[in-house]
Amino acid sequence: MPAAFCCNKDDLAAREMQTGISYVDFDMCARLFSDAVFDSFVRTSFILQDGLAENDGKKLIVVTSADCSVVEKDIASFSLVSDFYFSRIKNTGICACTFSGNKRGFLIDLGVLLHTYADKSRLHAGRC
């Protein structure tokens, strides 16, 4: 996993060449997150559903900070993401969704449903 990533599409393309990480664009994300409130989304609390420990080979969803930066060690510090969970997913492939409008990014887990709240609206993670 890269130490950090940026939501700029050119940067994402370059990062994909360097890391082999697959990225999808805003339109794809909009379909995956059709019930999301993108314009008002802010980084808040995270609730991971049970089952991550059995989710070998899957991908963890992570919301970046407003400037689209996230460092690897921060993933383990998100609410309810323990060191044990982190150790199980840190070496797996990551798929990042790019939101060109609000400059926020997502790393998407294929098997774990994550809920977060944006201005009291529930956001459901989709499949990438």
Mean of pLDDT values over 91-101:
32
Which of 16, 47, 55, 41 lies closest to 105, judged by CA?
Answer: 41
Mean of pLDDT values over 21-28:
40
**Alpha helix locations (H) across 1-128?**
9-19, 26-32, 72-77, 83-89
Domain count, the chain: 1
The pLDDT of residue 9 is: 52
Q: Is residue 3 part of a domain?
A: no
Residue 3 pLDDT greater than 60, yes or no: no
Residue 10 pLDDT greater than 50, yes or no: yes
The pLDDT of residue 57 is: 35
The residue segments making up the domain with residue 60 are: 9-124
Mean of pLDDT values over 72-100:
33
Q: What percent of the chain has pLDDT over 70?
A: 0
Q: Is residue 2 part of a domain?
A: no
Q: Is residue 70 part of a domain?
A: yes
Q: Is residue 119 part of a domain?
A: yes
Q: Which helix (H) or strand (E) is 24 found in, with range?
A: strand 22-24
**Measured at the alpha carbon of residue 87, what is the angle toward residues 18 and 21, in degrees to the nearest 5?**
20
